[in-house]
């Protein structure tokens, strides 16, 4: 759905009923896709272009933030705590703050987490979560081509690995209607794609 915002903009919220049932991510801020007020969707009225713009825009913003020395809040652009974490680390840091209830059951292991000292937005209010696999898949031409050619793909469990002497995460995409697979190795801190097989 497209939700009008007080500033006149529009937010895209997409939720999957199956994910809601399995993982309890049925809060509007924890949608399966959520533009979070960061992506301009003016003039768009159909889902696919809005979804594509949201995923590409969020990927661009967060990739730039991860690669920069000064990691900036995506909302107010002041230095903020922005890091890649696994679900266990997130639960330890949350310390009584509210994380989506089904996150511990969610198949994605790694997430981007942020806290901003100025605008106070961040993962502690459920708005700052973004799956690392989404960022990796939308940041590389080969993964985007795989998504276009295999519309019925899923993300398989992520694994910590080493590649060329660097700490990495293995992401794997699999088409559920064929044997097609794509493996992506990304740097463990920056999510920069190191290799695609």
Looking at mean pLDDT, say which of 9-23, 121-135, 136-150 comes out highest: 136-150
The candidate with the shortest Cα–Cα distance to 22, out of 139, 136, 104, is: 104
User: Structure pTM?
Assistant: 0.78
Q: Following DSSP, what letter does each residue of 104-132 receive, concatenated?
A: GG-S--EEEEEE-TTT--BGGGTSS-EEH
By the 8 A CB rule, do 145 and 153 touch? Answer: no
Q: Which two tokens stand for residue 171?
A: 């992401």
Query: Domain-by-domain residue ranges, the chain?
Result: 2-136, 140-196
- 137 vs 143: CA distance, rounded Å: 5
The predicted-structure confidence for 46-58, as pLDDT tens digits, reads as follows 888 998 898 898 8
The predicted-structure confidence for 138-157, as pLDDT tens digits, reads as follows 999 999 999 999 999 999 99
Tokens 């994380």 correspond to 99
- 79 vs 71: CA distance, rounded Å: 6
The predicted-structure confidence for 62-115, as pLDDT tens digits, reads as follows 888 787 767 777 777 788 877 788 876 665 655 555 455 555 666 778 888 777
């Amino acid at each position: 759905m497209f939700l009008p915002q007080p500033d006149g903009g529009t937010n895209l919220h997409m939720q999957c009923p199956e994910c809601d049932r399995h993982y309890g991510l049925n809060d509007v801020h924890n949608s399966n896709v959520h533009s979070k007020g960061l992506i301009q969707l003016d003039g768009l009225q159909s889902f696919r272009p809005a979804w594509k713009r949201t995923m590409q825009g969020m990927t661009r913003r967060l990739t730039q933030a991860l690669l920069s020395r000064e990691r900036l809040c995506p909302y107010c652009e002041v230095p903020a705590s922005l890091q890649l974490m696994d679900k266990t680390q997130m639960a330890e840091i949350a310390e009584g703050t509210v994380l989506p209830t089904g996150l511990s059951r969610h198949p994605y292991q790694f997430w981007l987490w942020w806290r901003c000292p100025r605008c106070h937005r961040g993962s502690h209010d459920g708005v700052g979560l973004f799956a690392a696999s989404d960022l990796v898949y939308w940041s590389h031409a080969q993964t985007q081509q795989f998504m276009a050619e295999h519309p019925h793909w899923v993300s398989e469990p992520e694994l910590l690995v080493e590649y060329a002497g660097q700490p990495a995460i293995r992401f794997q995409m699999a088409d559920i209607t064929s044997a097609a697979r794509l493996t992506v190795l990304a740097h463990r801190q920056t999510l920069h794609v190191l290799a695609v097989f």
